[in-house]
Copies of this chain bind each other. A is one copy, B any other.
Amino acid sequence: MERFWRTIEASAAIGGTEAGGICRLSLSDEDKRMRDTLAGWARESGYKLLVDRIGNMFIRREGSQPDLPAVLVGSHLDTQLPGGRFDGVLGVMAGLELLRTLDDRGVETKRAIEVVNWTNEEGARFPPLTLASRVFAGQAELEWALDRKDHAGKTVREELERIGYAGDAPVGDRVVDSYLELHIEQAPELDRRGIPVGIVVGAIPMRGMRIEVRGERAHVAGPPMHARKNALVGAAMVAIAVNDIGNAHEAGGGKTTAVAINVTPNLPGIISDRATLFIDFRHPSPGELAKMETEVHAAIQAAAQRSHTDIEVAERWGNDSFEFDRDLVQLLRDTAARIEIDTFEMRSQAMHDAYPMNAVAPSALIFSRHADGISHNEKENMTMDDARVGITLLINAVLSRANR
């Protein structure tokens, strides 16, 4: 575990912030350094490194039957702006520790095991999130993904080339035995229950929306109140209504977030004529989620009327409720029982690379407890002991699966 912890610390030093987090946006100079470091570790151990056209890195420890589809284990090394030290990093470093542990013990597996570092999971630089695993899973077009732009107008394509990670391998388009991901929970459920590891049986459904508000520019000292069409006010009304909907559904586990807002012209002296609001909402029950969505639409109508603006849902995304692979979940259960680890079965509330992967390969997700469930925050923290429990479960389950 000391070796594993050193990889966590090495990662925390690349783009590390004063407050103890990491600022390592996808395809930035920091991301390149982190990738180079990971590639160096792979080289030292003699693993093969494959980089695909969208920069996903696959570190392969060969199996005794190389023609069998490989078991993939991974997560991501990009962070939020800034994010914590464990979000994503835990899963990739756990995969590396898995390979090294097999080496230590001279264990050979039937199937190859590949550790994956997915490009741009966070979407903090290039929206949407889980961009590259979606392409791998055939849920997004490669060319479309390569054309995504950051705030400065730079594309994924340009930045991949600039940092030297525009690989040759096709994205996806190959048979994979299975995909397993270890990730911090990003919610306080495990911490509250005092259980170090969660077996994620499925995902709760969620919806995201981009809402566009159109008003009319005017001088702030100009029109009387009833004649104003302030786009900021229309967007604020929707934000509050969405928050209220979350409060109303809290008892059943519903959550809503007014995530981001961009107002034009957003300048002194001018009533704004455009606002873009990003919201998301989720609920364990698909039926309740549908109700929440109806309520959001009603709130948008009411806000438009009350603010004299035009408001529309310009984009809508999300996922329905789904189950992770039954056999893999059972394998995690059995493995935990065998090695006597206390686990809790739960559903994931946040998107991970395992979501798209689940559509093309049997997939599973393990959650690790971390302090107060705080994530997407520089204060994100977990103990080495908790990491050890998650990694132990991962290693044992992958070992079983790789010898199948």
Contacts and interface: CB of A to CB of B under 8 A. Distances in A.
Interface stretch (A50-58, A100-108, A124-132, A136-144): A124-132
A349 B224 CA distance: 11
A394 interface: no
Contacts of A267: 80-81, 124, 259-260
A262 interface: yes
A398 to B, nearest CB: 26
Contact of A258 (B206, B236, B351): B236
A375 B123 contact: no
A256 interface: yes
A86 to B, nearest CB: 12
A376 B8 CA distance: 53
A129 B260 contact: no
Interface in A212-228: 216-228
A80 B270 CA distance: 8
A278 B268 contact: yes
Contacts of A260: 232, 263, 266-268, 272
Given A230-B243, A239-B233, A222 B376 contact: yes
A220 B259 contact: yes
Contact of A375 (B187, B219, B247, B256): B219
Interface residues of A, number: 70
A391 B378 CA distance: 61
A232 B255 contact: no
A220 B242 CA distance: 13
Given A186-B221, A221-B348, A236-B243, 9 more contacts: A122-B268, A123-B269, A218-B374, A218-B377, A220-B376, A221-B282, A223-B373, A230-B257, A232-B259
A286 interface: no
The residue in A257, A263, A269 that gathers the most chain B C-beta atoms within 10 A of its C-beta is A269
B206 A129 contact: no
Nearest to A378: B217
A320 interface: no
Interface in A187-242: 187-188, 206, 208, 216-228, 230, 232-233, 235-237, 239-240
Given A222-B374, A267-B124, A233 B258 contact: yes
A350 interface: yes
Contacts of A158: none
B122 A269 contact: yes
Contacts of A265: 80-81, 124
A280 interface: yes
A261 interface: yes
Given A226-B250, A270-B259, A221 B124 contact: no
A268 B261 contact: no
Contacts of A239: 232-233, 236
A246 interface: yes
A187 B223 contact: yes
Contacts of A221: 186-187, 206, 255, 282, 348-351
